Structure formats: structure tokens, C-alpha cells
């Protein structure tokens, strides 16, 4: 159990370092408050932003002609430069959006065409990932405009026939067909409980993962610094093996990160009222998996870098790049879909995407594949780091 | 095959605790250790001497199992250190040249931590830590941070951390570098005491007097090879038990070759008995008083100015100088 005492020593030393404690605990909360407030407005002003072409899934349950026009003429033809349409079954669409493979989906309910023609409430359901940004707005506007214009044309034709008959009752029916007053769209983010993610929520998760990443970099820097000093050689001359050395370091780092995560989770919840979702176990397991993944990556990177100075510089740049790609700086849904899919191998991106899922009501079962992936990657990184470290010692000159 | 036993004159059989055989280490093209062989008996205090870059630390790192040799064999009793370093390390204590302690932790915390790294726990750990603190004379400063200690006190804790698990073999790599005389004396006495209590010691140092004081046998290492090994008496005899006459000449008022020619005429050999390095003339002689007068007369007659004259009794420094042509601090 010598690795446990190594971890305990690291924790004791951190606990005595007031500056480090301040950075670990206060800084994340301050930044979350600043960014959550500042970017809250930006996220509401998505209309001014530039929109890349995106994919949308459509389920057309309506047999009428108007839904066909909406899908084929409007979306597939007129908007082909902005939106790529994928026709899907409902279950397929829900799965893809839940898994963030599609940002937006549209379900055209049965009777859509008839409802529009008769002026009844037409039913269309817009499904989105949390915080879809402009994509959802664009689809919503298109559907609303379609709903406004198509029945008017239909009504014009009907009016001509009514004028011919000239009955008062039928004229009244015609006025009631003004669909601008009809609530057409039922917008929802996908999950059983269908919650939306606010800016504070988003940045609580985004800043949280970024700070945890920075803590990992700091921890690995300290590990490299120790390796540059004589204490490391002395450690290796005791009962401590390479494996136990890395396990001890990893354990210490994981506990420090868990403490920071607890502060972020509870602090944002209590101070800013951030809702991390209904699944406490999901948040806990995801946090643990993310930390192990990030620490494993850190240990791997640390095993390839010889000096603490070099790692600190590389770590600083690496963290910033990972934070940008992972959605900690700007909302991830402003990126093209392929970027969001590609960056899932980054611990922070994977964690953030799954925290957002949890915030929208997903449970532990929904994020389990991501958790397993993160754990697997973390262990793989750790093993490679261990091999690298033990091999690196063989050629060292005294 | 390593010889495992050494038979002494009185018929006592001592088993070698450590046996190093034809040890080699290459770093790329550079051969840092070139076929090093020696043995250390149980309970012995063995000195390893050599200048910087001689290969001492590389050899020690291989002996302690820190990294493997390119070839060769190292055995601690029956344990093959190259193949099973962790098993050997259970009975080895190492005092590194640098201070290998956590500066922000107290002396006691450091000792407890290192004790735990040797799997000590509970009452055994407490007793061991308290005993070591007493031995190194820091019981009253046990709770102070190591960062606040003097260099000598740090060195004492550095030694303490290596003996918590009561190793059979204690390897000390220059343990007194850069400390005050009081701390040095304390360390030397501690090492002497540990050796008297039965701990086998390998001691490397630049300070000849320390090695002479502590060690029964000495190995002299240079350019990765042992160039002489034996008891101090053996080594003294190997150089003919001769004293050193060291004359520091002033300025450029002399002709080196003329002086060498003169000394050769007095029966000294330029290869064995005379060393000329810059302004320092060194001559080895069994009876220095017999040649000193004539030598000074010869030098001053030609107007050569002499800054200092020193006669040094035969010691390790003389032996090293004569064997390598260099002083230990070169």
C-alpha cells in the first residue's frame, strides 16, 4: 500500500499550499460567474451569428400534401445549401439527437396538412440537443413561415369559392383560419423530461471541465518536477515500483480533482442555482470517469516530457486548445457537427457533452457508453505512460 | 563466476555480502563503466574513491538497482540485483549525494514517509523514526520544516531516511558535501556507529580523510575502472609508503624540463616519482628530508622563487595522485 502513502503525502502538501487551494476552489466559481453572466446574452443573440450547413432529421408522419411540400420543396430543395435533410423513423431520430449525432430534428405529426387547411392547431415537434443555437431558430422560422403562407394561399382559393356562395357563417370560418395566431410549434430538447440548458448551466459544466483539466496539468507538472529531483530516484529505491509510483500519483491527483469537482458542483448549485440534472449518480460517475480519463492522458503526456518547464508550456497550450475544441470557450453547437463528433476523444469534450445530456434529464444509463469509453481511454493512457516511464529509465546516465 | 568466500589468515570464513563482477554500462557510444569488479564483505566499511566522472555514481546506481547494467553481474548475497532489484532493495539503504527530502515537510514527517515507503507501519514505524531522530541528533527539531534546516541538518535527515528499515548494506554517495565541520563530525560518528553495530557500509567521498577514517578497504576508480583495491596498508605499500613533497613555484621563473632533468640526476624517476602540474612540483620519496635540502638549494640557486613547501605523509591522496597522475578534485 505504499502508493496510498505517496498519494496521502501529495494531498497533505497541496492542503498546506494556500495559493494552490485558492486556485483550486475559488477561481472556478469566479470564472463561472463571470462567463455565465457575460455569455448568457451572447447565447440569446444567436441570430447575428454565422451559421454553417447542418444536418436535420425529419420524421414525416403526415400523409397529406403540405408536409410533403414542406419537406421536399422547402427543406430539401430551397434550403439545400443550409440544411442536409435525413428522413428517419421517430425512434431513430430520437436516438441520434440523444447521442448528439444530429443537432435538430423535426417530427411532422399525422394530420399536419389537414390542420393547416382547416385552421386547426397543426402539430409539429422540434427536437434539439441542449443549446442548439441558431440551428433550431432557423428551422423554427422556416416552419412558422411555411405555416403562415401556405394556408393563406389555400384560403385565397377557398375565399373565391365562398364569395360565390356568399354565406356569413362561412366568411367567419375564413377569418378564423389566420394561422399566425395558431401555436404551431412544439419545441423541445430531447429527453424524457425535456429540459433546456441555460447559459449558467452550460458554463458551469464547461468551466468545470476546463478547470479540472488545468488541475490535472498542474498535478502532472508537479510529478515531472519531482522526477527531476533526487526524491524520485530515492522513491524508486524503496519498495515502490513504477506501477505503484504512478498509481500513487494518479490517486492523489484523482482525489484533488474530485475535491475540486465537488466544490464546482456544489458551489454552482448553491450559489448560482445551477441544475446539474436529476441523476446525481450520473454526474458522480461521469465526473469520476472524466477525471480518470484526463489524469491518464496527463500521465501519458508527462511520461513523454522530460522537464517540468517544457510540460508547463505544452500543458498550458494544450489545455487552451482542448478547452476551445471541447466547448469550454464557445458553445460547442456553434461548431460543425463533425467537429463535435471528432473531439469526443478529448476527455473534456466527452465530459461536457455528457454533462449537458445529464442536465437535460438523461440518466446514468444514457451516459454509460461515454463513461466506459472515458474509463477505458484513461486506463489505456495510464498503461502506455507506465510502459514509457519504465523504459525511459534504462538508458539514463547518472 | 563470482568468488563467494574470502578466507582470512585466522581461518575465519566471511561470506561476501556484495559481489560485483565485470560490470559495464554504455550510454550510446560512451562507456561510463568498463568492467568493474569488487567484493564487499559483511560488516565491512568499504570506500569507493574517484574523481568526478570516474563512474562512481553510475556504478552505485547499478548496484542499488536503479537502472540495469549493459553487462555484468551484481549479487547481494544470493540475490541477483540486475534481475530482482526490488528484492535486493529491501536490505539496501541509499544516501544520495543530493538532499532527497520533501522540503515543506518536517523532519519527522519525512522520516515517517520514507519509513512507510519501506513498508514500516504502526508501532514499528514510530520506534524506528524516534530512534533515527535520536541517532541523527534532531529529536528537538523533529517538527521543524526541512526547508528551515541548515545544510548539515538536512544531510543528517538525508542519512536518517536511509536507515529507517535497518538495511544490511548502507551505500553513501558523498554524504558530507558542503556542510560545516560540526555536522561532518556528527555524520562520521554516526556512520562509524552504524558500522560497529554490524551494518555494512559503502562510502564514496572526495574527502580522503573521511575515507581513511571510516573505511577498512578502499577501491580507487578512474575512467570507469577499478585501478587499485585493498586495505589502506596494502595501498600504501603499493606506492612504496612514500611521502609527497609539494613545492609551489612562483611565476614563470623556471624551466620545467631543467628541473626534471636535475631530479632525474638525483635518482628520481620521471614516470614514478615526479609530477609537474603548472606551478606545482610534486616528488614522491620514502625519506623526503634527504632530498628536500638539495632540491630547494638547486631551485633557489637559479633565482626561482618558491611560494610554499609541504611534505605530506603517505595517504590516499598520494596513492590516488600517483596512480592517476591527477588529484581527486581534478
Tell if the CB–CB gap between B98 and A236 is shorter than 8 Å: no
Grid cell in block for residue A194: 425535456
Q: How far, in Å, are B63, B73, B191 from residue B44 at the CA level?
A: 16, 20, 12
In a domain, B325, yes or no: no
Q: State whether B230 and B250 are in the same domain.
A: no
Minimal Cα distance from B59: which residue of A? A398
pLDDT given at position A176: 34
When divided into structural domains, chain B yields a total of 2
In a domain, B319, yes or no: no
Q: Which of A9, A233, A398 sits opposite B113 (nearest CB)?
A: A9
pLDDT given at position B6: 40
In a domain, B321, yes or no: no
Q: State whether B141 and B284 are in the same domain.
A: no
Which residues in chain A touch residue B118, judged by CB atoms under 8 angstroms apart? Answer: 238-239
Q: List chain A domain ranges.
A: 2-41+197-395, 48-189
Task: Encode pLDDT of A154-178 as tens digits.
Answer: 555 554 444 333 344 433 333 333 3
The runs of H, that is alpha helices, within B118-150 are 122-135
Map residue B35 onto helix, strand or coil. Answer: strand
Using the predicted structure, report yes or no on whether residue A278 has a pLDDT greater than 50: yes
Q: State whether B123 and B218 are in the same domain.
A: yes
Task: Encode pLDDT of B214-264 as tens digits.
Answer: 998 999 888 888 888 998 888 877 766 778 888 888 876 677 788 888 877
pLDDT given at position B11: 42
Which residues in chain A touch residue B90, judged by CB atoms under 8 angstroms apart? Answer: 239
Q: What is the CATH number of the domain that holds B200?
A: 3.40.50.300
Test the A interface: residue of B117, B143, B158, B174 with most A CBs within 10 Å = B117
Q: State whether B29 and B108 are in the same domain.
A: yes
Q: State whether B150 and B195 are in the same domain.
A: yes
The mean of the pLDDT values for chain B is 85
Test the B interface: residue of A8, A10, A12, A234 with most B CBs within 10 Å = A234
> Which residues have CB under 8 Å from A102's CB, separation 6+?
A55, A56, A57, A86, A93, A96, A129, A337
* Check whether domain A48-189 has CATH 3.40.1000, yes or no: no
Compute the average pLDDT of residues A202-208: 84
Task: Encode pLDDT of B162-177 as tens digits.
Answer: 999 999 999 999 888 8
Task: Encode pLDDT of B16-64 as tens digits.
Answer: 899 999 999 998 888 889 999 999 999 999 999 888 788 888 999 999 9
d(Cα A312, Cα A301) in Å, to the nearest integer? 11
Q: Of A181-185, A297-301, A388-392, B318-322, which one has max mean pLDDT?
A: A297-301
Minimal Cα distance from A9: which residue of B? B113
Which residues in chain B touch residue A394, judged by CB atoms under 8 angstroms apart? Answer: 67-68
Task: Please tell me the distance in Å from A136's CA to the nearest CA on chain B.
Answer: 55
In a domain, B121, yes or no: yes
In a domain, B327, yes or no: no
pLDDT given at position B2: 41
Compute the average pLDDT of residues B283-291: 81
Q: Which of A88-92, A201-205, B128-132, B201-205 has the lowest mean pLDDT?
A: A201-205
pLDDT given at position A191: 41
Tell if the CB–CB gap between B66 and A235 is shorter than 8 Å: no
Task: Encode pLDDT of B68-105 as tens digits.
Answer: 899 999 999 989 999 999 999 999 999 998 899 999 99
Q: Which of A13-22, A142-151, A240-249, A271-280 has the lowest mean pLDDT?
A: A142-151
Using the predicted structure, report yes or no on whether residue B155 has a pLDDT greater than 90: yes
Domain boundary among B187, B211, B236: B236
> Which residues have CB under 8 Å from A240's CB, separation 6+?
A2, A3, A6, A248, B117
The mean of the pLDDT values for chain A is 77
Grid cell in block for residue B205: 567521498
DSSP state letter for B174: S
Q: Which of B89, B101, B105 sits opposite A238 (nearest CB)?
A: B89
Q: Which contacts (CB < 8 Å, 24+ apart) does range A184-187 have?
A: A184/A121, A184/A122, A184/A124, A184/A143, A184/A144, A184/A147, A185/A124, A185/A126, A185/A140, A185/A143, A185/A144, A186/A123, A186/A124, A186/A125, A186/A126, A187/A125, A187/A126, A187/A128, A187/A136, A187/A140
pLDDT given at position A336: 75
According to DSSP, the residues that pair with B7 across neighbouring strands are B13
> Which residues have CB under 8 Å from B270's CB, separation 6+?
B260, B263, B264
Grid cell in block for residue B272: 614514478
pLDDT given at position A182: 38
Q: State whether B142 and B185 are in the same domain.
A: yes
Task: Please tell me the distance in Å from A20's CA to the nearest CA on chain B.
Answer: 14
Domain range for residue B40? 5-236
Q: Does A50 touch chain B (CB under 8 A)?
A: no
Q: State whether B127 and B25 are in the same domain.
A: yes
Q: What is the CATH number of the domain that holds B253?
A: 3.30.70.260
CA angle B102, B103, B108 (to 5 degrees): 70
Domain boundary among B179, B213, B236: B236
In a domain, B330, yes or no: no
Using the predicted structure, report yes or no on whether residue A152 has a pLDDT greater than 80: no
Task: Encode pLDDT of A331-368 as tens digits.
Answer: 777 777 777 778 888 888 889 888 888 887 788 888 89
pLDDT given at position B328: 62
Q: State whether B43 and B158 are in the same domain.
A: yes
In a domain, B329, yes or no: no
pLDDT given at position A392: 62
DSSP state letter for A138: H
Domain boundary among B189, B209, B236: B236
Q: State whether B127 and B211 are in the same domain.
A: yes
Q: State whether B212 and B285 are in the same domain.
A: no
Q: Read off φ and ψ for residue B92, nearest 5 degrees.
A: -115, 140
Q: State whether B30 and B178 are in the same domain.
A: yes
Q: State whether B209 and B293 are in the same domain.
A: no
In a domain, B73, yes or no: yes
Cα dihedral B270/B276/B281/B283 (nearest 10): -30
pLDDT given at position B156: 93
d(Cα B329, Cα B50) in Å, to the nearest integer? 9
Grid cell in block for residue B267: 635518482
Tell if the CB–CB gap between A234 and B67 is shorter than 8 Å: no
pLDDT given at position B63: 93
Q: Which of A9, A241, A398 sits opposite B57 (nearest CB)?
A: A398
Q: Which of B57, B68, B119 sits opposite A239 (nearest CB)?
A: B119
Interface confidence, given as ipTM, is: 0.79
Amino acid at each position: 500500500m505504499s502508493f496510498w502513502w505517496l498519494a496521502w503525502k501529495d494531498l497533505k502538501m497541496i492542503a498546506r499550499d494556500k495559493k494552490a487551494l485558492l486556485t483550486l476552489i475559488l477561481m472556478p466559481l469566479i470564472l463561472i460567474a463571470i462567463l455565465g453572466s457575460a455569455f448568457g446574452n451572447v447565447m440569446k443573440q444567436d441570430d447575428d451569428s454565422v451559421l454553417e450547413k447542418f444536418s436535420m432529421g425529419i420524421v414525416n408522419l403526415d400523409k397529406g400534401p403540405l408536409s410533403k411540400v414542406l419537406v421536399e420543396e422547402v427543406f430539401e430543395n430551397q434550403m439545400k445549401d443550409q440544411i442536409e435533410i435525413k428522413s428517419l423513423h421517430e425512434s431513430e431520430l430520437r436516438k441520434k439527437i440523444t447521442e448528439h449525432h444530429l443537432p435538430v430534428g423535426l417530427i411532422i405529426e399525422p394530420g399536419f396538412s389537414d390542420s393547416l387547411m382547416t385552421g386547426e392547431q397543426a402539430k409539429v415537434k422540434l427536437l434539439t440537443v441542449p443549446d442548439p443555437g441558431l440551428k433550431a431558430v432557423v428551422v423554427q422560422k422556416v416552419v412558422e413561415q411555411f405555416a403562415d403562407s401556405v394556408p393563406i394561399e389555400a384560403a385565397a382559393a377557398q375565399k373565391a369559392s365562398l364569395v360565390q356562395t356568399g354565406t356569413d357563417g362561412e366568411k367567419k370560418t375564413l377569418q378564423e383560419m389566420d394561422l399566425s395566431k395558431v401555436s404551431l410549434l412544439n419545441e423541445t430538447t430531447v429527453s424524457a423530461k425535456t429540459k433546456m440548458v441555460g447559459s449558467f448551466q452550460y458554463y458551469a459544466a464547461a468551466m468545470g471541465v476546463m478547470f479540472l483539466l488545468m488541475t490535472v496539468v498542474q498535478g502532472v507538472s508537479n510529478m515531472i518536477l519531482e522526477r527531476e529531483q533526487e526524491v524520485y530516484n530515492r522513491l524508486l529505491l524503496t519498495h515502490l515500483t513504477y506501477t505503484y509510483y504512478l498509481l500513487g500519483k494518479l490517486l492523489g491527483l484523482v482525489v484533488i480533482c474530485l475535491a475540486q469537482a465537488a466544490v464546482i458542483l456544489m458551489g454552482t448549485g448553491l450559489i448560482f442555482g445551477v441544475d446539474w440534472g436529476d441523476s446525481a449518480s450520473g454526474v458522480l460517475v461521469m465526473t469520476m470517469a472524466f477525471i480518470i480519463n484526463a489524469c491518464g492522458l496527463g500521465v501519458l503526456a508527462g511520461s513523454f516530457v522530460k522537464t517540468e518547464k517544457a510540460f508547463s508550456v505544452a500543458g498550458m497550450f494544450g489545455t487552451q486548445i482542448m478547452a476551445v475544441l471541447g466547448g469550454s470557450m464557445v458553445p460547442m453547437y456553434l461548431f460543425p457537427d463533425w467537429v463535435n463528433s471528432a473531439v469526443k476523444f478529448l476527455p473534456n469534450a466527452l465530459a461536457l457533452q455528457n454533462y449537458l445530456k445529464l442536465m437535460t434529464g438523461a440518466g446514468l444509463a444514457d451516459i454509460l457508453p461515454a463513461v466506459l469509453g472515458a474509463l477505458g481511454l484513461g486506463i489505456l493512457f495510464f498503461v502506455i505512460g507506465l510502459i514509457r516511464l519504465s523504459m525511459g529509465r534504462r538508458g539514463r546516465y547518472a | 563466476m563470482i568468488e563467494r568466500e574470502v578466507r582470512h589468515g585466522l581461518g575465519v570464513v566471511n561470506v561476501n555480502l556484495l559481489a560485483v563482477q565485470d560490470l559495464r554500462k554504455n550510454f550510446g557510444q560512451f562507456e561510463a563503466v568498463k568492467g568493474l569488479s569488487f567484493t564487499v564483505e559483511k560488516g565491512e566499511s568499504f570506500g569507493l574513491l574517484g574523481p568526478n566522472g570516474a563512474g562512481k555514481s553510475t556504478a552505485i546506481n547499478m548496484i542499488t538497482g536503479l537502472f540495469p547494467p549493459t553487462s555484468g553481474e551484481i549479487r547481494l548475497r544470493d540475490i541477483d540485483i540486475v534481475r530482482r532489484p526490488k528484492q535486493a532493495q529491501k536490505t539496501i539503504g541509499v544516501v544520495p549525494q543530493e538532499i532527497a527530502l520533501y522540503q515543506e515537510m518536517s523532519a519527522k514527517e519525512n522520516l515517517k514517509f520514507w519509513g512507510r515507503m519501506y513498508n514500516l507501519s504502526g508501532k514499528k514505524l514510530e520506534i524506528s523514526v524516534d530512534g533515527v531522530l535520536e541517532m541523527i541528533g534532531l529529536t528537538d527539531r523533529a517538527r521543524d520544516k526541512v526547508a528551515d534546516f541548515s545544510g548539515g541538518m538536512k544531510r543528517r535527515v538525508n542519512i536518517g531516511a536511509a536507515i529507517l528499515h535497518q538495511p544490511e548494506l548502507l551505500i553513501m554517495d558523498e554524504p558530507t558535501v558542503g556542510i560545516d565541520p560540526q555536522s561532518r563530525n556528527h555524520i562520521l560518528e554516526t556512520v562509524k556507529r552504524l558500522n560497529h553495530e554490524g551494518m555494512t557500509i559503502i562510502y564514496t567521498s572526495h574527502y580522503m580523510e573521511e575515507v581513511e577514517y571510516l573505511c577498512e578497504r578502499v577501491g580507487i576508480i578512474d575512467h570507469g575502472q577499478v585501478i587499485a583495491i585493498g586495505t589502506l596498508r596494502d595501498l600504501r605499500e603499493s606506492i612504496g609508503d612514500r611521502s609527497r613533497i609539494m613545492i609551489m613555484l612562483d611565476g614563470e621563473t623556471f624551466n620545467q624540463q631543467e628541473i626534471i632533468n636535475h631530479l632525474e640526476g638525483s635518482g628520481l624517476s620521471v614516470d614514478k616519482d615526479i609530477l609537474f602540474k603548472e606551478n606545482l612540483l610534486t616528488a614522491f620519496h620514502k625519506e623526503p628530508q634527504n632530498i628536500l635540502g638539495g632540491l630547494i638549494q638547486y631551485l633557489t640557486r637559479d633565482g626561482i622563487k618558491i611560494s610554499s613547501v609541504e611534505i605530506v605523509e603517505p595517504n590516499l591522496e598520494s596513492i590516488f595522485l600517483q596512480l592517476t597522475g591527477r588529484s581527486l578534485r581534478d
